[in-house]
Structures are given as structure tokens and as C-alpha cells.
Chains A and B, each alone.
Chain A
Amino acid sequence: MNLWRIVFKSLRQHALSTCVTAFSIALAGGLLMSVWVVKEQSQATFTGVNEGFDAVLGARGSKLQLVLNAIFNLEASPGNLAWSDYQDIKNNPSVELAVPIAVGDNYHGFRLVGTSPELFDKTEYAPGKKFELQPGGAWFDPARRDAVVGDFVARKMNLKVGDTFHPFHGLIFNENNQHSETYVVVGILKPSNTPADRVIWIPLEGIQKMSGHDPRAATDVSAVLVKLKAGSAIAGFQMDMMYNRQGNRLTFAWPIGSVMAELFDKIGWFNRVLSLVSYLVAIVATASILAGIYSSMNERRREIAILRALGARRFNIFTAILLEAATISAIGMAAAFVVYGVIVTVVAGVMRAQTGVVIDTLQFNAVMLWAPAALIALGALAGIVPALKAYRTDVAENLTPHS
């Protein structure tokens, strides 16, 4: 028999109140941790995704739109580039690799992206990682109507090697806009956890020469993915100045990571609102601990008086109540990890479906230490007011039950 036994007895005796308040702590803690981790992880991941390239060259417009269109396969293209623009940058001595892409068609909402085979054989989408095919597939032949399908698309649309399909015109699926061309799936990519998983890759000419597309623009491209030679940071700088400031025709989005980072800066307010909401939930939850224990103080007077009569010090009683409050918080925080798991799994799933980007939510994050510590401390703090009431219990008066 010790103080902890007394604390747990008390929690059991007030099981309903304990569960309800612990649950609200679980929600608060789970929410707080989720908001924190998702924000940090998504920012780290999105600013880190560049499919192995340093910059994107596109028609004059917003750098963000360019990056979202060319790297993340979201957003419309700001316009087209002439083939000569692609060749110019390809021939730039500071450029190691320039890969053209063309967009404009879809298959049931999944984008078709025309590109050259260099995207697959020369690109490392992440350090040390190249795009790979699942067994039984092959890369597309640029002269044929071949398609290499991203893993996510293949699973969602149930496409296998050998299947044929008709693309649809536009970036948004409209079943009336079916093209007459037929494409054959020749390969399916292994999951790369990048936006590449969510598109269907076809030869560049496929998009350029699709029926119904303007034949005069048959050699245009939507964007050029650019990789600069190692040690040519100055080159990026100078090309940025030339295209973006000296020039007025094209936009050179460089470095890709910064463009995304600026996006996150811009929506930083949203994250702060979410954080504020979770702090408020935490406050409400700890207030509920205070209310729950405090309201039980009246009925506990006799029990406290008996314990005191048996020799318990006032300080023991005070500590027991504080521990009770902190323990409810601790139980809640343990459950908070379950809540966290649920929330981040859902969010990560949505992110993956929408962008192809996979965020790592099970990785350790400092918030998993300080959030429980903070909420347990807050719980103990909430226990001070009822603990003081218990401390002040008049023993003699409460020993005799008042009939």
C-alpha cells in the first residue's frame, strides 16, 4: 500500500471521469503531434523532391506554377517552349542534362507526360536512386505508342503490361474527349515515392503529335527539366539572371527546393492556425481534468479525513491529487499516439493520392517527447486547485458523517 496505489484506486473509482478526461487529452496530444509532424515532414519532403533536377525552364510565368507542373505533375503549364529553347539550354556548357516534357492529356484523370528516355536512363530521382521497372516490363520505344505507367496509377487503374488504353484530352478527365490513338503499356515503374508514380510516361512525340493537338506546335514542349553540372552554382545564378531578369520570354525556376520553400513560407499562417487549434484543445482538455477532479472533491472529503486520521500528512494528500491529475494526462498521452497514428496515416494517404509524395510519419520527431511532457505537466498543474482543496480538508469535521 503506497501513494500510487491510492492514486490508482481513485482513478478506478472515478473510472468514467478518468476515461473521458484522458480521452480529451488523447485528442489534444494526438492533434498536436500530428500537426507538428505533418507540417515538418511535408515541408522537408516537398522541398526535397526534385526528381534529380536543379531547375525547370518554362514559359514566362510563376516559378511555383512551373515547378508544380513540371516536377509535381499538378497545375497547368504556363505555356509552351519552342524546341529551339530546349536545344539552347541543352547545349549550354553548364548544363549536364536537359530533359524535355510535354503535358496535355490524361487517362481517367491521371496525367500523361511525354518525355525522352533520358529521364529514365540518366536521371537519379534521389541520390543514388534511378527509376526502375517492375519485373516483366520494358522502357518505351520513342518511335512507338508505348507507355510506362507509374506504380500508383497502375494499381488504381488496374493496368498491366500488355494492356492498351486511349488517352483523353486535357488535364482534367472528360470522357467525351477520348483520343483515337491507342497506347500499349510496356512497363510499370517500381514505386519511387515521388510524383512520378502518379503519371503515365509516354514518348515526347506522343503528346506533341496527338490528334487534335495543334500541328504548328508539334515541336513545342511544356517545360525542360534541367540538371546543372556539379560545381556550377554560379551558372545557375547567371542563368537565373539571364532568363528571369534580362529576359522576358521564359522563366527559369531555380533552385527547385527554394521555390517550394517559399510556398511553405506563404502558407505558414495556415500551419500556425492549426497549431493554435491544437493548443486550445490541450487547454480545454486539461481544464476538464481540473473540473473533473475538483467536482469530486466534495464527495471525497470523508475519504480524505479517514486517510488523515490514519496518519497521512496533508502533503501526502496534496501529492496524491497532483499525481492523479498527472496520471490521467499520462494515460491520455499514451492513447494520443494511437490518435496520432490514425490522423497521420489518413493525411499521408491523401497526400500520396494527390501528389504521389510519401511523407514519413513514423520517424521519431522531438514533438513526441515534448508534447507528452508538456501535457503531463499541464495535467499536474490542473491538479493544483483540487489538490489545494484536499489539502485544506478539515479532518475532525469530516470524520463523522453528516446525516
Chain B
Amino acid sequence: MKIITLLGIGLATAFLGGCSKTENAAAPANEVVQKHEHHPPHHGTPVVLGNEEYHVEFVLDAATGKLQAYMLDGELENFVRIQPESFNIAARVSGRDETMTLKAVANAATGETIGDTSLFEVQADWLKTVTNFDAAIGKINVRGKSYTNVVFNFPKGNDTDETGK
């Protein structure tokens, strides 16, 4: 009888130790950001608003000269829809000043509309050739909070203390 008890304990241990082979064969991640890493979802340039309250992610498509701006939360995880229909950016490019007005983008697929969207974009020909510029967001309202003169560099961003990038 002792042998049976030992056998039982042995088997139970092996079992609980994880006989099932596929428990951890995890599905390939179809989520971009894991937990608390601050990676911009589109691999663009993250610009911090305020005290890490929100972010703006800038993505440049040089082929079309289109600059997109995604509004994201403090963790760079969730998209934040805001009311403004546009906001301005003043950029300094090779000595000259350029002003860009990024307009709200509606998207039937996502359900976003002008006045309730997380995506803004602007097109300019000079964006097709410039890869590096300094800029500042003039003023932007995000859920009742106002952020003015947010200075940043494209493509470096403005995160001076580099939290977990």
C-alpha cells in the first residue's frame, strides 16, 4: 500500500508540475504594447503632454508628405478621442518657419468623427524631404486640459528623462 501512496504522490507532482504541453504555447501577440512599456503603437515619435498625462504620436509618411498625429493616453496604450477640429504646429526647418494645421480625421471603420477623434493629419510637400525638424504645438485641448507651447523635435520627441523607452 505504501508503494501505491508513493506512486500517487509522484504522479500528482508530475501532473501539477505541468504535464500539459500547450499551456504556455501562447498565441502570437497581436497586441502591440505590453504592460507598462512606453512604446508608441505606430513606432512613431511620442511627444509628452504635461506630466505624462497624454501623448501625441507623430508618424511621417515621407512618400506622400503626410504627417499624422495620434492622441494617446499617458501609457501610450489607449487612443484618446478629443473634441478640437484642428491644432497648429510651428516648425523650424532649415532656417525657415513653417506652420502646419493638423486637421481632425473622421474614420468610418473606427467610428471616429470630426469633434470626436484621435487622429489628426496634415500634408505638406516639404515634409517629403525633411527628416528632422524642431517644432512646437501651439495649443491643444485634451479632455478639458489645455497644453500650450509643447516643444519637441522630430523624430526625437521631447521626453528628456527617457522613462522606460
Contact = CB atoms under 8 A, between A and B. Distances in A.
B119 A246 contact: yes
Contact of B7 (A89, A237, A245, A381): A381
A265 interface: yes
Given A272-B15, A381-B7, A242 B27 contact: no
B71 to A, nearest CB: 10
B28 interface: yes
Interface stretch (B85-93, B105-113, B120-128, B150-158): B105-113
A36 B11 CA distance: 16
A290 interface: yes
Interface string A245-275: 1111110001101110110110010011001
Contacts of A247: 107, 109-112
A243 interface: yes
Interface size class of B (residues with CB under 8 A): 20 to 34
Interface in B76-94: 78-79
Given A88-B109, A268-B22, A279 B15 contact: yes
Interface residues of A, number: 43
A7 interface: no
A250 B3 CA distance: 59
Mostly helix, strand, loop or mixed at chain B's interface?
Answer: loop
B109 A243 contact: yes
A182 B108 CA distance: 37
A243 B23 contact: no
B8 interface: yes
Contacts of B26: 261, 265
Interface in A1-56: 40, 43
B4 interface: yes
Mostly helix, strand, loop or mixed at chain A's interface?
Answer: helix
Interface in B119-151: 119
Interface in B2-21: 3-4, 7-8, 11, 15, 19-20
Nearest to A385: B3
A386 to B, nearest CB: 11
A84 B78 contact: no
Contact of A283 (B11, B41, B108, B112): B11
Contacts of A276: 15
Nearest to A384: B3
A290 B112 CA distance: 72
B15 to A, nearest CB: 6
Given A84-B108, A276-B15, A237 B32 contact: yes
A23 to B, nearest CB: 19
B30 interface: yes
Given A85-B109, A247-B112, A384-B3, A237 B118 contact: no
What are the nearest 4 A-B pairs in CB distance?
A247-B110, A258-B27, A249-B111, A246-B79
Interface of B: 3-4, 7-8, 11, 15, 19-20, 22-23, 25-28, 30, 32, 41-42, 70, 78-79, 107-112, 118-119
Given A242-B110, A246-B107, A247-B111, 8 more contacts: A85-B108, A240-B30, A246-B119, A247-B110, A249-B111, A272-B15, A275-B20, A283-B4
